[in-house]
Amino acid sequence: MRELHIVRGRLTPAAKQESDYLLIPFDVPPGMRRLEVKYTYEKHGGETVVDLGLFDARGATFLQAAGFRGWSGSERDHVVLTEESATPGYLPGPILPGRWHVVLGVYKVAAKGSDYEVEIRMSDAPGVPPYSPPRPLPSATSQRAGPLWLRGDLHCHTHHSDGKASVAELATIAQERGLDFVAVTDHNTISHHSYLPAASDDRLTLIPGEEVTTYYGHANVWGLNQWVDFRCRTPEDVRAAFLWAQSRGGIVSINHPKAGGPPWEFGYDVPFTCMEVWHGYPHYNHEPLGVWERLLQQGRRIVGVGGSDTHLLPPPAAREFPIRLGRPTTYVWAETNTVDAILAGIRQGRVVISCDVDGPRMEMTLHLDGRTFHVGQTLSVSRGRALTVEVKVHKGRGGVLEIVHDGRVVESTRISKDDVGHTMRIKPVKSGYVRAQIRAEEGDSRVWSSLPLLALTNPVYIHILEGD
Ligand SMILES: [Zn+2]
Ligand SMILES: [Zn+2]
Rg from Cα positions in the chain: 24
347 and 221 within one domain? yes
Taking the centre of ligand 2 as the mean of its atom positions, its distance from the CA of residue 420, in whole angstroms, is 35
297 and 266 within one domain? yes
Taking the centre of ligand 2 as the mean of its atom positions, its distance from the CA of residue 263, in whole angstroms, is 12
Average pLDDT by stretches of 10, the chain with 468 residues: 96 97 98 98 98 98 94 98 96 97 98 98 95 66 86 97 93 94 98 93 95 98 97 98 98 93 93 97 93 98 97 62 86 96 98 97 97 98 95 97 97 95 96 98 92 97 86
107 and 14 within one domain? yes
353 and 244 within one domain? yes
Sheet holding 114-123, edge to edge: 2-11, 114-123, 34-41, 78-82
The last residue of one of the domains, among 335, 358, 381, is 358
101 lies in a domain? Answer: yes
Question: How many domains are contained in the chain?
Answer: 3
Taking the centre of ligand 1 as the mean of its atom positions, its distance from the CA of residue 279, in whole angstroms, is 10
Taking the centre of ligand 1 as the mean of its atom positions, its distance from the CA of residue 306, in whole angstroms, is 13
Identify the CATH number of the domain in which residue 24 sits: 2.60.120.380
The last residue of one of the domains, among 327, 358, 389, is 358
183 lies in a domain? Answer: yes
105 lies in a domain? Answer: yes
293 and 347 within one domain? yes
Of the candidates 265, 22, 63, 311, the residue with the CA atom closest to the CA atom of residue 163: 311
303 and 248 within one domain? yes
Taking the centre of ligand 1 as the mean of its atom positions, its distance from the CA of residue 84, in whole angstroms, is 30
Query: What does residue 315 show for φ and ψ, rounded to 5 degrees?
Result: -65, 155
Ligand nearest to the CA of 155: 2
Taking the centre of ligand 1 as the mean of its atom positions, its distance from the CA of residue 213, in whole angstroms, is 7
Q: Is 303 helix (H, G, I), strand (E, B) or coil?
A: strand
Taking the centre of ligand 1 as the mean of its atom positions, its distance from the CA of residue 255, in whole angstroms, is 6
Taking the centre of ligand 2 as the mean of its atom positions, its distance from the CA of residue 377, in whole angstroms, is 29
197 lies in a domain? Answer: yes
129 lies in a domain? Answer: no
Of the candidates 400, 439, 394, the residue with the CA atom closest to the CA atom of residue 418: 394
105 and 79 within one domain? yes
Taking the centre of ligand 1 as the mean of its atom positions, its distance from the CA of residue 373, in whole angstroms, is 33
88 and 39 within one domain? yes
130 lies in a domain? Answer: no
Identify the CATH number of the domain in which residue 281 sits: 3.20.20.140
> So what's the pLDDT on residue 389?
98
Identify the CATH number of the domain in which residue 389 sits: 2.60.40.10
> So what's the pLDDT on residue 240?
98
Taking the centre of ligand 2 as the mean of its atom positions, its distance from the CA of residue 308, in whole angstroms, is 8
Ligand nearest to the CA of 218: 1
Taking the centre of ligand 2 as the mean of its atom positions, its distance from the CA of residue 246, in whole angstroms, is 20
Tell me the pTM.
0.96
340 and 254 within one domain? yes
351 and 374 within one domain? no
Ligand nearest to the CA of 156: 2
138 lies in a domain? Answer: no
Taking the centre of ligand 2 as the mean of its atom positions, its distance from the CA of residue 463, in whole angstroms, is 35
> So what's the pLDDT on residue 378?
98
The last residue of one of the domains, among 358, 382, 403, is 358
157 and 282 within one domain? yes
Taking the centre of ligand 1 as the mean of its atom positions, its distance from the CA of residue 262, in whole angstroms, is 7
272 and 159 within one domain? yes
Q: Give the separation between CA 240 and CA 212, rounded to whole angstroms.
A: 13
Taking the centre of ligand 2 as the mean of its atom positions, its distance from the CA of residue 364, in whole angstroms, is 29
Ligand nearest to the CA of 157: 2
Taking the centre of ligand 2 as the mean of its atom positions, its distance from the CA of residue 211, in whole angstroms, is 6
Taking the centre of ligand 2 as the mean of its atom positions, its distance from the CA of residue 44, in whole angstroms, is 26
Is residue 80 within 8 A of residue 47, CB to CB? The reply is no
Which structural domain range is residue 464 located in?
Answer: 361-468
Residues 6+ apart with CB under 8 A from 151: 178, 179, 180, 181, 326, 329, 330, 331, 332, 354, 357
DSSP letter for each residue of 183-198 = EEEEET--TTGGGHHH
132 lies in a domain? Answer: no
Is residue 409 within 8 A of residue 453, CB to CB? The reply is no
Taking the centre of ligand 2 as the mean of its atom positions, its distance from the CA of residue 307, in whole angstroms, is 9
> So what's the pLDDT on residue 336?
95
